[in-house]
Amino acid sequence: MTRIDNKFQELRATNRKAFIPYITAGDPNLKVTADLILALERAGADIIEVGVPFSDPIADGPVIQRATERALASRTTLRDILRLGAEIRKTSQVPMLIMSYYNPLLRYGLENLVLDAAEAGFDGILASDLTVEEAGPLLAATTEVGLNTVFLVAPTSSPDRIRKIAQTSTGFLYAVSRTGVTGERQELSTELRDFLKTLRCHTPIPIAVGFGVSLPEHVQAIWQEADGAVVGSALVREIEKHAKNGNLAEKVSEFTRWLKGTTT
């Protein structure tokens, strides 16, 4: 049982749903990232996705692309992010998921990566461009050390691929709310409910919904149908907006509470 598994178990026992923010590590620098992770936890984040900057973020929209550029400009590496995790673990047990493209993971070396990630206190890995058919080496490595391996599943996936992805993902299943890249939207897909019902037929593990989640009503609507809501671009835009202010962590906390519909 990872911290992710335990968190969802705890939430289910108290009839609550997960709020899962994404931030790009190193945007604007790693010291600020550490402050933001702790601020997000205090504001009510249940699981935090820690993004690894990569030079070709093909699944991301312009907001996260700009965050990636800033993180790369601050020379943030995967090894730095693992050290960051170890620092966070000195004061926090918030569940953390490494979210990356596959190339940085391969370059690091999968066996070394999972060992170092587990030792640093991370709970799982999501490689956003890794297909389930090609995931054998990563699955073997994460299983060996007890990390979750989270997969994305899209509405356009075939029934056979939906079944395969749903039965392979551990920790939770990341349901993409719509086609296209990450980014803020005014409305969620009208087909989301049916998509989630299909996923439920294939797996008992928690399902979290992301891509385009940017308003409190989005979060509330997703919580009615799924186990967790993932917010990325809207939060990263807030970081971009206040990056040069001395009260960035406070602004991010306020925004998180607004999205969750809480005031404390």
Residues serving a catalytic function are 49, 60
Q: For residues 120 and 89, give the distance between their C-alpha atoms in angstroms, rounded to a whole number.
A: 8
* Residues whose CB falls within 8 Å of the CB of residue 233, separated by 6 or more in sequence, listed in order: 61, 63, 64, 182, 183, 184, 214
Q: What is the dihedral sign for C-alpha 10, 14, 16, 19?
A: negative
- Residue 13: count of CB within 10 angstroms of its CB: 8
Tell how far CA 134 is from the center of its chain: 21
> How far is Cα 209 from Cα 221, in angstroms, rounded to an integer?
10
Please state the φ and ψ torsions of residue 48, each to the nearest 5 degrees: -120, 125
Cα 71 to chain centroid, rounded: 17
Residue 223 β-bridge partners: none
For residue 78, which of 47, 110, 37 has the smallest C-alpha distance?
110
Instruction: Say if CB 219 and CB 229 are below 8 A apart.
Output: yes
